[in-house]
Structure 1
Amino acid sequence: MATITAGTGATINAITIEGQLFQLLHFINNAESIAGGESNDFSLKKDEDGLLTSTFTLSGQYLYTPATGIYTSSAIPYLASTPFTAGNP
């Protein structure tokens, strides 16, 4: 397993990449549960061996800035504000 150093006070704070991915999956799954309604872009299933399987869809958009001639892409937010701390540094 690859180790990673999370920032102090980070919401996603496991010491391995795999652990942080696991925490992130639960974080998003919980945020969708709290939001309710149409927020079903993410699914998380656990089989009898304890393996987690996740699928998700991220809606995105391209924005064109005529002044610069540059296209940018970004995800379209679909969840209400959810407390998240990146940590320091």
Structure 2
Amino acid sequence: MFSKELQMMDRNTVIYMIDELQEKIDKQTSELSEKDKEINEKDKEISEKDKEISEKDKELSEKAKELSLKDIRIAELEKKLESYHQGN
């Protein structure tokens, strides 16, 4: 009889430990899920920022091209002005 009671206690202890471990696993799974959500949100933010940066880079490239064309035009006009002054 005493042995049966000990066996029952051992069984109950094992069940309790399993339940405790399952709760811990469930909690960790929930925490991981939350972290995954946070990471996905951050990834989305980073993706949006990358898109904005790409658009700004494109704008800067276009402005640089415009400036280059204007520099060429200024150089041409300066040459014409110089040749005009040399002709007089």
TM-score range, shorter chain: under 0.3
Return the structure number with greater strand share. Answer: 1
Determine which structure has greater relative contact order: mean sequence separation of CA pairs < 8 Å that are 6+ residues apart, divided by chain length.
Answer: 1
TM-score in terms of structure 1 length: 0.26
TM-score in terms of structure 2 length: 0.26
Return the structure number with greater helix share. Answer: 2
Indicate the structure (1 or 2) with the bigger Cα radius of gyration: 2
